[in-house]
Amino acid sequence: MDTRVMTSKRLTVALILSVLAFAGMSARAEIAGQVLLASDAVAVRAGKALPLKPGMMIEDKDTLRTGKTGNLQLRFTDNSTLSLREDSEFAIEEYRFSGRADGQERAFYRLLKGGLSTITGLIGHIQRKNYRIDTAKATIGIRGTEFTLMLCQGGCLNADGSKARDGLYGGVNGGIVAATTKSGEFRFGMGEAFFAPSIDRSVEKLTAPPVFLQQAAASSQSSGAENVEHSEKAERAEKGGRPEKVERPEKVERPERVERPEKVERPGKGR
C-alpha cells in the first residue's frame, strides 16, 4: 500500500480519536456539590472508588458510600445540605442546576442503604416534581423541608434492644414530606414521624421517631458543628448563606404504632 495512503489513514484515525476524546470531555458530568466533611467515605465514579476529603467536588451520577465508622456531609450547588450516616449508600441519579430555579433544575436521588439527614435548597421549592428521593419502600417528595430518613434492612434496633421492623423510617424537622407508595401519597408535617413497610402498602404514622432515627439526626447535628471549621474557606466562595442547623429532637422511648394517616387523594387532570 502507498505510504502516503497509510499515513493519511493514520492521521484520520488520530483525528477521530481526538474528536471523541474532546466530546467526552465536553460531556463531563455536571458538578453537583462539594464535600464539607468526610470520614471513611468514597464516591464511585465511572466504576472507580474515589476516597473523599473536604473540598472535593461531587458530580452528577456519583454513588456515595460511607463505611462502618464513616460519615459524609455535602453542600449541593442549590445550597441544600446532605449528611450520610455510617454504612450508607446514596446515588445521585440526575442533578442539574444552572444557578437559579428556572424549571430545568433536577435533583433525583436514591437511598440504597443506611440513613441521611437533609435540608433542601432551591431545587423543588417552586416545582416540587423536580425533587425526589427514591427508596425500595417509598418515594420521598418535599414541600420545602428538613427531614431524616433511615432505611432499615435487618440492622435497626429499638431503645430496648429489640429488632425494629424492616422498612423506611422518616422524621420531619421542618416543612412537609410526601411519602408515596402504590397505595397513594401520604403527607407528614414538622415534628411527625412515619414508617413505610413496603412499596405496596400504606405509609404509617408513628407517635414519635424511633431511637435510631434520632441518632441519625443527632449525628448530623454534631458533625455539622465540625464542618464549620473544615469548610470555612470553601464557603466564603459560595453564594448565599448557610441553612440553619437542624435542631436535635428530644429523646423519646420506643415509639408505638398508631393509626395510619389519612390518604391524600391525587388531583385529577386540569387541577
Q: How many CB atoms lie within 10 A of CB 179?
A: 26
pLDDT confidence of residue 261: 57
Of 38, 96, 46, give the one whose Cα is nearest residue 67. 38
pLDDT confidence of residue 155: 86
Contact in structure between 81 and 203 (CB atoms under 8 Å): no
Per residue, the 3-state secondary structure of 21-83, as one string, reads: HHHHHHCCCCEEEEEEEEEEEEEEECCEEEECCCCCEEECCCEEEEEEEEEEEEEECCCCEEE
What's CA 233's distance to the chain center, in Å? 24
Ordered by start, the domain boundaries in the chain are: 31-236
Contact in structure between 175 and 146 (CB atoms under 8 Å): yes
Domain 31-236 has CATH 2.60.120.1440: yes
pLDDT confidence of residue 103: 84
Distance, in Å, from the CA atom of 107 to the CA atom of 182, rounded to the nearest integer, reads 22
Mean pLDDT estimate for the chain: 80
Per-residue model confidence as pLDDT tens digits over 67-79: 999 999 999 999 9
Please work out, in degrees rounded to the nearest 5, the angle formed at the alpha carbon of residue 59 by the alpha carbons of 109 and 76.
Answer: 65
Contact in structure between 149 and 155 (CB atoms under 8 Å): no
Most confident of the ranges 63-72, 94-103, 209-218: 63-72
Distance, in Å, from the CA atom of 179 to the CA atom of 263, rounded to the nearest integer, reads 10
Contact in structure between 196 and 179 (CB atoms under 8 Å): yes
Of 60, 99, 93, 109, give the one whose Cα is nearest residue 78. 99
Per-residue model confidence as pLDDT tens digits over 5-39: 555 555 444 444 544 444 444 356 789 999 999 99
Lowest average pLDDT, out of 104-108, 118-122, 224-228, 257-261, goes to 224-228
Sign of CA dihedral 116, 99, 63, 57: negative
Using the predicted structure, report yes or no on whether residue 62 has a pLDDT greater than 80. Answer: yes
**How long is the chain?**
271
What is the reported pTM?
A: 0.73
Q: In 198-235, which positions are buried (b, 16+ CB within 10 angstroms) versus exposed (e)? A: bbeebbbbbebbbbbbbbbbbbbbebbeebeebbeeeb
Please work out, in degrees rounded to the nearest 5, the angle formed at the alpha carbon of residue 9 by the alpha carbons of 3 and 10.
Answer: 90
Using the predicted structure, report yes or no on whether residue 254 has a pLDDT greater than 60. Answer: no
